[in-house]
A and B are shown apart, each in its own frame.
Chain A
Amino acid sequence: MNKRWMTTAMAVTVAAGSLAGCASDNGKGASPGSAGGGSDSKPVKLKIGIGTEGLQYIEGSPNINEDKYTKKLRELSKTDFTLDLIPHREFDQKLTLLFAGGELPDLLQTHGINKPEVAPAVDTGAIIPLNDLIDKYGPNLKKNISKEAWEFASVSKNGKIYGIPNVNATPNGNVMMVRKDWLDKLGMKAPKTIDEYIDMLRAFRDKDPNGNGKNDEIPYSGREKLAFTEAFFGAYDAIPVDWKFENGELVPNMIRPQMKTALATYRKLYEEKLLDNEVFVQVAKDWDAKIKAKGIVGLWTHAPRLADKWSAEVKTGTPTGVVDIIPAPTGPDGKGGFSIGSTVGGNIWVIPKTTKNPENAIKFLDWFYSDEAQKFLTYGIEGEDYTVENGKINYKYPVKQEDIYREEMHLTWLRMVGPLHLTDTEFMKNRPSGDLVLKAMDIASKEGRKNDGLGMPSLPTLQARPELGRDGLWLETAAKIVTGKEPVDSFDKFVLDWKKRGGDQVIKEATEWYKSTHK
């Protein structure tokens, strides 16, 4: 318990080991420098249910509530909160169990109020509408979150706001990342079309770009269920989970003819070993290790906001490794890229009916927009993560893998709502590979495929027959076609089967939703 707290320029002093004790009843951020000064009232208590996001630092923490950043946030926000972690892998399931059990936290993270596990909670009144509370206690929330975000399907329903969204850095959440040092070594330019991409992947396979004399390179790798391998689906405008409105119907990309062409391409990639042949059984950590620790992957797909992290982590395995962001392969229509989502982030905060003082939760989230909160979330703890010289912040940008993981804690994870660190130009400018992130964001904003089913609630038939979704029949068929176990033409059989089993009904429901919302 005896952590060394460095006395800082801040006026706040903290006794070693005590929880944040500077009390003042309002959760609103006091301006930096005016500490609460220990009035007698107790700080408000708040129980927060929050997902681990699969982050190593969070999942590896012995007790997240005793973590130094958690304590610091308690102290700064003057809110005595406890964090209840929800494991990333079973997030949806655990949420259902929470609702069923009735033991709900005061403030709960969800992935949207239109998700199947949350929607019934809205309908039965287990989650409260927040309009009045935000008007009264959340001026910063109201001011900083855009009208579109408040109206988005994962945030509000029938004009009532049920959730407080975080922001997405870019609506398009994925870009292509490539080993630039490999390209340079082979004297190649960044590819554009599908064919150029395939040429590049072949060169990666055959010409030993990592120079170890072994034929161990994996040109393009991804994760189980074809996750993070959707570049070529995007080129054919057939991102599996998305929808297209055509001929008066909203149809899933899974059954469109473009999908067949895309699958044929993937089959070729797999056969020629350009696509990692373990892609169907590979869990996240193996994929991670191949790219970072082993450094044998040439091309992969991930979030533009994490480009700097990838760049730093590839260097931990290959000190000479250089990561670059390139535009995604373009298909027959000259366009490409991944699914364009919404500006609303994936985490929506809701307040259950059981919460005694919901205004405390709103005040707490509202405080995240204060300068004090922003400074802490971006730069961490003074004396540990940064020092101040002549009024200038001198931030220790992390280099080692464990420090990168640690930085994520305050940089992204504790940032429950509010502007992202990416918008802090001063911070990004001095960041190693900060320009790479900006480049990634720029590319992400210029490409991508529109999803006509954006914001659609989960359809009744899809809930009753989950096998009609992406990870059901489609994935099984795609896996068999890609690995060459079945001919490409078996796709036609799948489409007929899918329709017969309730797919027609799914299209009908989707079309009704589309027409009722896009007038």
Chain B
Amino acid sequence: MDVREKRLASGTPEPFASETLPASADNVTQRVGNAGSARKPYVLKYWQIYTMVLPGVLYFILFKYVPLTGIVIAFQDYNVFNGITGSPFVGFKHFVNLFTYPEFLRVLKNTLLISVYQIVFGFPAPIVLALLMNEVRRMLFKRTVQTVLYLPHFLSWVIVGGLVINFLSPSSGMVNDVLRWMGKEPVFFMQEPGYFRSIVVISGIWKEVGWGTIIYLAALAGINPELYEAAEVDGAGRMRQTFSITLPSLLPTIMVLLLLRIGHILDLGFEQVYMLLNPLVTSTGEIIDTYIYRIGLLGGQYSYTTAIGLFKSLVGVILVVGANQLSKKTTGNSIY
């Protein structure tokens, strides 16, 4: 598993990745290392490497660790005019407020359900697509398909949300035109709580599946061709090769991405749901992020929303650590 691939996958560089440096990096250190000065401290000896890692470390300190101090406002009655230093401490008031909010369970349930659907259906989609693309032998066709599939990723949810709503609209939407043509009554997709989660998951897959294949295709390209040649000699067909060689080779990549994804189980991406939400589907569609937006930003309750955010992060950390241990025990793959 290459560090760079991991970074691509998670969208952020990982500070712990240095432990799993691939063999190629070791070669580099040997080359740049000054063999004559073995007495020097490690840091000075390999200063080039450390210099290279510096920007990443600085980024994390500046943009991830320094803002953590802001968590303190979750325990205050924060007011923007008094600032962090001038706001009174109130202990766990905001957490109590969150857990006693009558709709909290509903919001949590929606968040978890949509997230689980996304993992069950959305997570394997790019893997399957990558495997299919891997079998395509015509390069021109493959390139074209790839490009077309990447495109939706570059559109914002504001645009895609509008497309989805128009596409499913009962008066002008293509789906309902087909239904009408078949002699059926138009369906108000966006107003039916029963359809909402499916719409969110499907539109999410449509938008991101192409982009998700990149990392898998990169991993596929790294599989040793000799393995396939040997399998062919042993009389394995294409299916057999896929299941015995391709998938096992992809497994480390898949596991790492899955673990990272599990950490985000409570963040579904606010934009997507917010764009599609309306009062008729809040019962199945309101998630923690949209709730934060409605209550916190529109109501200006920063302390309360920070408390919710903290709760989300805690759940995320617990899940990641748990899943990581489990994965370590069962598959031997882990992110640290």
Contact = CB atoms under 8 A, between A and B. Distances in A.
Given A224-B278, A280-B191, A479-B280, A99 B80 contact: yes
10 contacts: A93-B297, A96-B297, A120-B81, A277-B170, A281-B278, A281-B280, A463-B301, A479-B279, A483-B191, A485-B280
A92 B283 CA distance: 26
B190 A281 contact: yes
A406 interface: no
A472 to B, nearest CB: 8
Contacts of A404: none
Given A120-B81, A278-B169, A466 B299 contact: yes
Interface size class of A (residues with CB under 8 A): 20 to 34
B288 to A, nearest CB: 15
B50 interface: no
A117 B280 contact: no
5 closest A-B pairs (Cβ-Cβ)? A124-B81, A100-B80, A479-B279, A466-B299, A475-B279
A124 B79 CA distance: 10
Contacts of B171: 278
A126 B297 contact: no
A466 B295 contact: yes
A464 B90 CA distance: 15
| Main secondary structure on B side of the interface with A | loop
A467 B82 CA distance: 26
Contacts of A121: 81
B80 A120 contact: yes
Interface of A: 92-93, 96, 99-100, 116-117, 120-121, 123-124, 126, 224-225, 277-278, 280-281, 463-464, 466-467, 471, 475-476, 478-480, 483, 485, 501
A224 B191 CA distance: 12
A48 B169 CA distance: 40
B230 interface: no
B280 A116 contact: no
B102 A463 contact: no
Interface in B285-312: 294-295, 297-301
B81 A280 contact: no
Contacts of B80: 96, 99-100, 120
B263 to A, nearest CB: 28
A464 B298 contact: no
B295 to A, nearest CB: 6
A471 B81 CA distance: 27
B102 A464 contact: no
Contacts of B188: 277-278
Contacts of A466: 294-295, 298-299
Interface residues of B, number: 26
A278 B170 contact: yes
Given A225-B279, A281-B165, 14 more contacts: A116-B299, A116-B300, A126-B81, A277-B188, A278-B188, A280-B191, A280-B279, A281-B278, A466-B294, A466-B295, A467-B295, A471-B279, A480-B280, A483-B191
Nearest to A478: B279
Nearest to B171: A278
A124 B82 contact: yes
Nearest to A116: B300
Nearest to A120: B81
B325 interface: no
B271 interface: no
A485 B169 CA distance: 19
Given A281-B165, A483-B191, A99 B81 contact: yes
A311 B171 CA distance: 24
A471 B297 CA distance: 15
Contacts of A501: 102
Contacts of B191: 280-281, 483
Contacts of B2: none
Contacts of B82: 124
Contact of A476 (B97, B102, B279, B300): B279
A121 to B, nearest CB: 6
A464 B282 contact: no
Contacts of A464: 97, 301
B280 A483 contact: yes
